[in-house]
Amino acid sequence: MSIKVRRGVAAAGTVAIAAAVNVATGMLTQQWDLAWWIAIAALVVIGGVIQAWLTIAEPTSPPIRTQSISNTRVNGSAKQIMNVSGEQRVSDSDVGGDLSQSQ
C-alpha cells in the first residue's frame, strides 16, 4: 500500500472514530456541547498519533546498487548483467569488442 493510500485511510479512520466518539458521548451524557469538545479532542489526539505512526513507518529508500568494471583489459566483448536497478560503470578499461550492459 502506498504512503498516499495509507494517509487517506488514516484520515478517514480518524474522522470516523471522532464521529463515533461525538455520538457516543452525546447519547450517554445528553450534553452535546461537551460531546463536540470531546470529539474535537479525540480528532486531534487520534489524528496526531496516526500521523506520527505514518511518519515513523515510512519505508526508507533502498540503497543504490552499483556494478563496476575498472582497470580491465578485454580482447573480446564484455557484458554486464544486473538483475536489479542500479548503476553500471566501466572506467579505465579497454574492451576490444562490444560492451553490453543490461538491467
Identify the pLDDT of residue 51. Answer: 80
Containing structural domain, residue 82: 65-102
Q: Domain count of the chain?
A: 2
pLDDT digits 0-9 by tens, 75-100? 888 888 888 888 888 888 888 888 88
Do residue 71 and residue 48 come from a single domain?
Answer: no
| 10-residue averages of pLDDT along the chain (103 residues) | 79 84 84 84 84 75 79 86 84 84 81
Identify the pLDDT of residue 92. Answer: 87
Q: How far apart are CA 103 and CA 7, in angstroms?
A: 33
Do residue 11 and residue 52 come from a single domain?
Answer: yes
Do residue 72 and residue 47 come from a single domain?
Answer: no
Do residue 78 and residue 50 come from a single domain?
Answer: no
Identify the pLDDT of residue 61. Answer: 67
Do residue 37 and residue 82 come from a single domain?
Answer: no
Do residue 14 and residue 50 come from a single domain?
Answer: yes
Do residue 90 and residue 52 come from a single domain?
Answer: no
